[in-house]
A = this chain, B = another copy of it.
């Protein structure tokens, strides 16, 4: 069927379903959709009475399935409305009467349109193929093992709809029980292309019709010879989402550049009174050393912190790039009008008192004003933002001046404060810290688009609770990931579990599963917790990218070696199988009872020269791609001696153009803490009292390198 024909046919059917006030399609209606989109279903006929059913069964020949057809009965099996494997006139007759009786008993008021007579499908692997409308990502397609087990084990994977054929095929390998589909223990595998086609076509169907909320093919029976949907369920949306205002990439970059690299900043509500937000913001801008113009705006002051104050932003001479609002919520709309008239492209709305306190009307009002004037809004309800390389601290917190490669954003102010404290105590090198708050306008996708281009930013880390436009975020992530890692802490992982769902796929799509799959597909590194996000943010820009999969552990403590090996496996890394010549080379330096192989266990009592010789081997051999060091505090090799020799070796090889990620776990007395700081500052990611963290960071770097296409084997 031609694309426009099938769309017309389906739309007309959906229109009539809507006209009847229904949201669930009947089985025959589902079949019309399946046929229009080439979704394979078994042969079937609708029988209005017993005789028609007998005749239909006779035409199909073999055993058949009978199913009651009623717009009022969604769960046919539970209503006793399905009989499988009926053959011959007498059986068909009896079965027809039984299921119609069951249906009446289940719901006396249910309309019964007849009984569906279907070809009985062969035995095969039960699968589920479905599609749902996700609040963040819109139409997504799902695939998993079917039957009772899948609902218990939730072995299912999601993609943005529509999918290409190769994406659909990749879904078969994305479930935990993927091997079953390839055939195990003498059982044949399934027809992978046929399954992938069912996925692709369902994804097209839901993508073509915004009004379709959910589709379930459950089960799809897959054999070595094909894949057929035994049942199709389609549910329509109660209402359509309101389209969101969008900006082009160029528009986003233009306003973001002026936000993050401003030449002139106005502070609306600047104040001389200590304790006021307008005073803190002014002082942080001045004390932070911002080299551009700082214009206080306050109708009741002549000068603020020694700078001329203006009655209105419209009075400020010259262009203004950013207006920082430090006034109560109720005055924002008026001031924003003036900001708009002045042609300021960015308003940073620190005040709270909008949607987060139930004042949705006030928030809608300022969004409307901003859109009318083309002003982009950051916030409201935020601590402000830092653009470190501009010495810009447009916040009421405290200045931060350690310039570096990570851009951090947080939806919540509390998390923003944790970001600041952590960064300060670890001296994390930062390019920006941005509060997003209510996200009335500027969103993670806007910021990611900018940070992807920003040459100062080498890594982006974002705390978020939701995405207003998941697809825009995925697009920004896909554009950024080939250049730099994107780390996401998605809060509220478990809150979605209670989402009401009308289909099996819908039920499986709760519990954070959609976010998890789709963020991973976009190449995003998902941090399991706040502290992980902060450590990844701190460490990823420090490590060079790995050029291959071979990880070697060199350890002075056998016990650390075992734990580091556990961590390597936990984080999906590969312990290199050491080639015989390299093994022999390591053995020359370690005691006879030490263990070469991997981990390379140099044993505990060794002098600095043994650490140096073995680390040097690992750095020098091009077949080794990353080093994990396990240090054991001894009097023979004290912590700072180890730190200095390791940093020196890494620097020496870096000068020769050899850059490999090196991480270290230091086991010892408190002196190891100083050694770790020393190493971190010199490009070696080192932690005391933990074997997990250095490997977790290396694992995150590898996940990024795979997503960025720097390593073979795809993501």
Contact = CB atoms under 8 A, between A and B. Distances in A.
A491 B531 contact: no
Contacts of A492: 562, 565-566
Interface string A586-599: 00000111000000
Contacts of A499: none
B358 A593 contact: yes
A410 to B, nearest CB: 7
A365 to B, nearest CB: 18
Contacts of A604: 352, 413-414
Interface string A679-700: 0000000001111110000000
Contacts of A148: 180, 184-185, 187
Interface stretch (A241-249, A320-328, A553-561): A553-561
Interface string A157-173: 00000000000000000
Interface in A402-431: 410-415, 417-418, 420-422, 424-425
Given A417-B633, A556-B414, A567 B153 contact: no
A647 interface: no
Interface residues of A, number: 86
Contacts of A240: none
A557 B425 contact: no
B689 A530 contact: yes
A354 to B, nearest CB: 10
Given A414-B557, A563-B529, A672 B633 contact: no
Given A152-B176, A667-B414, A530 B593 contact: no
Contacts of A177: 149, 152-153
A668 B416 CA distance: 8
Contacts of A688: 418, 421-422, 425
A422 B176 contact: no
Interface in A528-544: 528-532, 534
Given A556-B414, A604-B414, A531 B690 contact: yes
A670 B562 contact: no
Contacts of A605: 352
Given A412-B559, A559-B491, A691-B530, A667 B418 contact: yes
Contacts of A531: 689-693
Interface string A452-493: 000000000001010000000000000000000000010111
Contacts of A557: 412-415, 417
Nearest to A693: B531
A328 to B, nearest CB: 12
A371 interface: no
Contact of A398 (B562, B669, B690, B691): B669
A425 B565 CA distance: 26
A225 B417 CA distance: 61
A632 B688 CA distance: 28
Contacts of A145: 149
A670 to B, nearest CB: 5
A495 interface: yes
Nearest to A491: B562
A414 B558 contact: yes
A475 B493 CA distance: 39
6 contacts: A152-B179, A275-B635, A356-B558, A417-B667, A417-B669, A421-B671
Given A151-B185, A152-B177, 12 more contacts: A151-B184, A152-B180, A357-B591, A358-B593, A412-B562, A414-B559, A424-B670, A425-B673, A493-B566, A529-B690, A530-B690, A531-B689
